Amino acid sequence: MTGTARDGLLIALAWIAIGVILRPFQDTPFIDDWVYAWPVEQLLLGRPLKVIDYSSSLNIVQALWGAIFCLPTGFSFVALRVSTWVAALSCLWILYLLLREFDVRREDALLGVATLALNPLFFVLSITFMTEVPFLAGTLATVLAFHRAVVRRQERWLWAASLLAALSTGIRLPGVALPVAMTVALLAHTPSWGRQRLRFLVPLAAFVVVAGMVAWRIGHTEHVADLSLIGSAPATRLRYARLHAVQLLPQMLVGEATFVPGALGLALLPLTIACVHRAHLIAAAAVFVTLWSFVGVAAVMDWPQYPQLASGATWAIEELGATEQLVPNYGPFVQPPWLTWSITAIAFASGAVVLGVSLRRPRTAGLAFLAWIAAVNALLIAVLWLLHDRYALTLIPLAIVYLLAHEPLRRARWAIAVLALSGLYSVVGVRDHLAYNAAVWHAVDELRRGGVSASRIDGGYVVNGWLQYAHPEHAPRDVDGAVAVPFVNVPGTLRYQVSNSPVPGSTVVATVPYVRWLGRSGKIYVVDHEEPWPVRP
């Protein structure tokens, strides 16, 4: 067995062991993944493949991927979560291959893979059917194929990279950054080969495939309700972007100038603390001061700021998974200012090291490709207002490759120590998320076993989205008969509420306790707004 195969087996065994011990595959949706699960369910019911109107992604590739894992036992979120867990493992394998192809030492490559694997954001999204991890797998596969194309001067790898870019865009639309970055890299960084036989046009074939998927999507969207007043709906976001994108671009660029370095700095802390050298200090100090100057500009202009681990993020101080805030009557965690600024300072210090290395001229066309992907993605983040930690995930493994391709790890023990803390937090944070989520759905199940129909249960965004919006035959209706789902497309509540706290003037008919090891423990309350429960139909 070769060294690469042995390391790949080691990575797989470690990842599988975590899954066996943690058992994170609950048969419930997570944040938005009920939107992406809907077409899978329709396929397995023998219906044509369609995309629900609430989805902002093309969704085709991920739906087919999830359906493969559901075929043996039928539709379930367990199978869909396993499909993403497998996609996450492929991310780790591909990242290892990339690092080795960029001549990163074996030990450093394994620590780079561990940095992604044990990152709390990557870790929690790996047990869901969200789009971020499958998209990341497609992105990394595209980078690997393109790097092999330009190193080996083999056109078949270039065509493979173009196809993978198209498939990635079929999961998330920001994948359009991939063929754009490939074209620029071929023209600017491999002119002697990239311009021959018009090879720089090969990546544009991805746009033809994507155009076909977009045309298909237009005619295969299931329209459930009027979403014109919903800010997160695709059509609304596009309308706002057309009206305000240029006007708000300076504000968003300033926000991004602190958001992206902070996200990368926090994620790459195990590596930056192990590779930083005195030779880096001048450049890192200059970047560090510049980042704080953008914070000052935002404060003076009264523009929003986007600190790391803030309330509302997928990875926040109070909770990993952003589940509690999507359940009614959430009491927000008030983060002390000193904690916010301390986290920001650490993230900026680490991010300054990452940016200091990134500002160097890339040594190869493959590294140039990474830089262009990051640049186009950064522009999309600003233009489309994607300043949320989930949207920065794509940049993390790219930054890992770029950093380790330029700098060796000088203090591996430091990296291992920080990774141990990160891994412990990830495992315990996901365990806490699972405990809370199980309590919420146990409360929903209690209501349904008591004879309460799904159309009268308000469990918040995820519960209502899956039980009612994705299944409009169970949805409450307004006076005109239109679908009206609280937390999804209308305000308000329903008679029976699954709540984070008691509601004054209403009857608490049941409670479901949950215990978290890191966050606050408590109870989920089943509230009847009118009369005691259970009520038989």
| Confidence category of residue 533, pLDDT binned at 50, 70, 90 | very low
Nearest Cα to 94, choosing from 113, 122, 68? 113
pLDDT given for residue 381 in this prediction: 87
* Range 399-421 average pLDDT: 95
> Per residue in 308-354, pLDDT tens?
999 889 999 999 999 999 999 998 888 899 999 999 999 999 999 99
Q: Which amino acid is at 331?
A: G
Count the neighbouring beta carbons within 10 Å of the beta carbon of residue 417: 14
pLDDT given for residue 331 in this prediction: 86
> Per residue in 160-189, pLDDT tens?
999 999 999 999 989 999 999 999 999 998
* Range 37-64 average pLDDT: 93
pLDDT given for residue 1 in this prediction: 65
- Give yes or no for residue 74 having a pLDDT over 70: yes
> Per residue in 221-237, pLDDT tens?
999 988 776 766 666 66
For the chain, domain boundaries: 3-431, 444-528
Q: Contact, 261 vs 351, CB < 8 A?
A: yes
Report d(CA 195, CA 185) in Å as an integer. 11
- What six digits make up the tokens of 213? 């998927």
Report d(CA 274, CA 226) in Å as an integer. 52
Percentage with pLDDT > 90 across the chain: 77
Q: Which residue has the higher pLDDT, 170 or 537?
A: 170
Name 20's Cβ contacts closer than 8 Å, sequence gap at least 6.
none
pLDDT given for residue 20 in this prediction: 92
pLDDT given for residue 147 in this prediction: 94
